[in-house]
Chain A
Amino acid sequence: AGAMWGALRGVRRPPAALRRGLAKAAGPRSARQLREAEEAAPVFQYVGKAAKRKDRVFVWGFCYSGALGIPSFVKPDVGWKKPRRIQPTPYRLETEEKISSAACGYGFTLLSSNTTDITKVWGMGLNKDSQLGFQRSRRDRAKGYEYVLEPSPIPLPLEKPQQTRVLQVSCGRAHSLILTDSEGVFTMGNNAYGQCGRKVVEDETYSESHLIHQLKEFDSRVVQVVCGQDHSLFRTKKGAVYACGWGADGQTGLGHYNITSVPTKLRGDIAGVNIIQVSSYGDCCLAVSDEGDVFGWGNSEYLQLASVTETTQVNVPRHLPFKIGKIKEAACGGTGNIVLTEEGNVFVWGYGILGKGPNLIETAVPEMIPPSLFGWSDFNPDIRVAHVRCGLGHFAALTNRGELFVWGKNLRGCLGTGRMEDQYFPWRVTVPGEVVDVACGVDHMVSMVKSF
């Protein structure tokens, strides 16, 4: 700059104070400069040491019934969007409370939280038989909603609403059961066969009904409730099983084929046995004892109980003499059954897509599904299946690493794999988190997931 000023003769040069020196050359920074710049850079903290993992709910499957709980799938909020018929992959459902138990029925869903707040249970989906209680319509205060599109609270007639906790919910075809810790079992929905545990009233209209029945008379506290298609099973702390509802396939297990409208204790091979888990979804039922034996009763048209009897209806619980090891958990579907043993092996039997390729359609004797299909390998030898669940035509298995595997008939996208084809062997469902529990329905599924 000094040279430039010197060249312009006759022009007054600026005073020395204002003269700028030549700017430094901008060459590559030396290693020392880079290191100093790095150390001076600010450190961001995204999450602290005490960060908790969040609990989330993911849903997928058939949307039109509203069972997924996302109203924009059925009635889009923007005019140009079309209603979504099927959600093929897991979609997050935003809930205010942490959901501890979920159950999928035939076109509806119940979510419950074990909080002491007033609202403990939410329901969505079909409500034509008041299986979600009375949902007052906002347009006409006297009428109720037939389809509930988003999780709506179900008001329960509790004596101590701020102390009682809801432990578990269960849904059948058109009725639902809610289990509380100190106030017994609440039932709502269709009672045409006595499945709600109260006397059948002729020509009763179940839609827009306010009636929620409470059941308290059992030998001890009820610890598990299970809904079959049109019957209900209750398991008490002492290990006894009670049943009520439709019995034409013997699914009530009471020794007759009539309907029962009062929960009655089951006898047969489970009399005196301490039952630790009961399961049912269609018309067949399975019970697991504390010693690892499995008992079955109900429909056997699909060879579910063919290992003990040739009859197609079994109305008394029978012990199933399988030599597969001590059984930890069992689940019943519409036509197939699945059990999990103590070693972590999964066995299936019955009819339908059982999970061993397209060639295995039906079997009366349990067949094991190879653990390598659940991710077990020499590289990961400690992967085990922790839980098994059953929908009407499909199965689900949860591993101890929090992965969800599904297989079976892909009815309206209920598997959640992203494809519409049936799945003949266990296939992973990609869920962004660790799957803690899953509930299977006819054409949709709900999963409770812990975020990473």
Chain B
Amino acid sequence: LNAAPGRAPRQRVRFLPAPDGGGATGLVATRVPVLADHPLVRGPRLRRLKIGAGHRLDVKASGVFVLGLGHGNKLLTDLYNCHLTKVYTVGGLFGKATDDFSDTGKLVEKTTFDHITREKLERIVAVIQGANHKALLMHSNIDMKTQEAYELAVKGLIRPMGKSPPIITAVRCLQFALPEFQLEIHCLHETQQYLRKIVHEIGLELKSSAVCTQVRRIRDGVFTLDDALLRTQWNLQSIQNAIRDCQLRVKTELEKTL
């Protein structure tokens, strides 16, 4: 960034003595560059960058991680106040239960799992959705007796606009091959450990046990996997392109919500 050509130095009009006619009191107005703008005086333009992080991502999890640069930090706060949902793909494994709900933890119990069918899993998933939908309506702090609450509920736009416990708005079973399964979870205000706990509780509810093998965030508000930069793309050009591409989307989303 510092190697890129910077701003041209400011020019100032100074009255300098005329080059010819030594000793004569002739002053000529000339434009001279201001010395204070000289690169050797000023130094590199950028010494530090203010980078802020968006929603937290665990060490064991992977996926989209939003960072803000400079003015983007303020946009990050606004995006946080929009309370948009995040989408995760969560992979689980039946038959084991560990102390930290992931497959790298200390083993607590092993159980059989051959009685589990996709239909039973979908039933449990439907119950989780139902209970969380109820929590969504309750934490949104809207008076249920108003016509406005009814209209928002019909459109599905009721959501908590303040602090709330983790709420799952939608779950879907993507893959099911005993003992592994994969779920797609849309949630609000959650942590990845909470999602691992949900996998553990699904295992308990199915009268077996489950551990979480993979948590991958595939969407964070307006940012999806396609916008995310891979490790090989962490260079200036791709970062600049990425910022430019999502500027418009972020602006429209903020205007829509706030």
Contacts and interface: CB of A to CB of B under 8 A. Distances in A.
B126 interface: yes
B42 to A, nearest CB: 54
B153 A373 contact: yes
B150 A356 contact: yes
A424 B123 contact: no
A43 interface: yes
A379 B133 CA distance: 13
A49 B114 contact: yes
A50 to B, nearest CB: 8
A49 B206 CA distance: 12
A359 interface: yes
Contact of A403 (B126, B186, B208): B126
Interface string B125-136: 011011101100
A286 to B, nearest CB: 26
Given A47-B115, A403-B130, A452 B205 contact: yes
Contacts of B153: 372-373, 425
Interface in A400-445: 401-403, 421-425, 427-428, 430, 434
Given A47-B115, A379-B170, A357 B147 contact: yes
A425 B110 CA distance: 45
Contacts of B146: 357-358
B112 A422 contact: no
A281 B254 CA distance: 51
Interface in A14-70: 37-38, 41-49, 51
Contacts of A452: 120, 123-124, 127, 205-206
Contacts of A48: 112, 115
Contacts of B205: 452
Interface in B161-203: 170, 172, 186
B67 interface: no
B87 to A, nearest CB: 11
Given A422-B145, A452-B124, A357 B151 contact: yes
A375 interface: yes
Contacts of A428: 130-131, 133-134
A372 B156 CA distance: 7
B141 interface: no
Nearest to A43: B110
B112 to A, nearest CB: 4
B45 to A, nearest CB: 48
Interface string A163-182: 00000000000000000000
Interface in A195-218: none
B118 interface: no
A49 B117 CA distance: 10
A173 B95 CA distance: 53
B35 interface: no
B205 to A, nearest CB: 6
Contacts of A38: 96, 107, 110
Contact of B123 (A47, A358, A377, A434): A434
A358 B114 CA distance: 49
A94 B127 CA distance: 23
A76 interface: no
Contact of B131 (A37, A43, A44, A430): A430
A275 to B, nearest CB: 34
B154 interface: yes
Interface in A360-380: 370, 372-373, 375, 377, 379-380
Contact of A51 (B129, B172, B207): B207
B144 interface: yes
Contact of A44 (B111, B129, B156): B111
A227 to B, nearest CB: 32
B96 to A, nearest CB: 8
A452 B205 CA distance: 8
A401 B109 contact: no
B155 interface: yes
Given A403-B126, A425-B150, A452-B123, A41 B107 contact: yes
B145 A424 contact: yes
A43 B115 contact: no
A375 B130 contact: yes
Contacts of A375: 129-130, 133
Interface string B84-126: 0000000000011000000000010111101100001001101
Contact of B207 (A42, A46, A427, A434): A46
A86 to B, nearest CB: 19
B110 A44 contact: yes
Contact of A45 (B111, B133, B151): B111
A370 B114 CA distance: 40
* Residue among A45, A357, A422, A428 facing the most chain B CB atoms (10 A cut-off): A357
* Residue among A37, A375, A379 facing the most chain B CB atoms (10 A cut-off): A379
Contact of A358 (B126, B145, B170): B145
B124 A359 contact: no
Contacts of B206: 452
A430 B129 CA distance: 11
Contacts of B145: 358, 421-422, 424
Contacts of B186: 379
Contacts of A44: 109-112
22 contacts: A41-B109, A42-B110, A43-B95, A44-B112, A46-B112, A46-B207, A51-B207, A357-B150, A370-B154, A375-B129, A375-B133, A377-B156, A379-B186, A401-B126, A423-B144, A424-B144, A424-B145, A425-B150, A428-B131, A434-B123, A452-B124, A452-B205
Given A51-B207, A425-B154, 5 more contacts: A358-B146, A372-B156, A373-B153, A380-B129, A452-B205
Interface of B: 95-96, 107, 109-112, 114-115, 120, 123-124, 126-127, 129-131, 133-134, 137, 144-147, 149-151, 153-156, 170, 172, 186, 205-208
Ranked nearest first, the 6 interchain pairs of A and B with the lowest CB-CB distance are: A357-B150, A47-B207, A45-B112, A357-B147, A379-B170, A43-B110
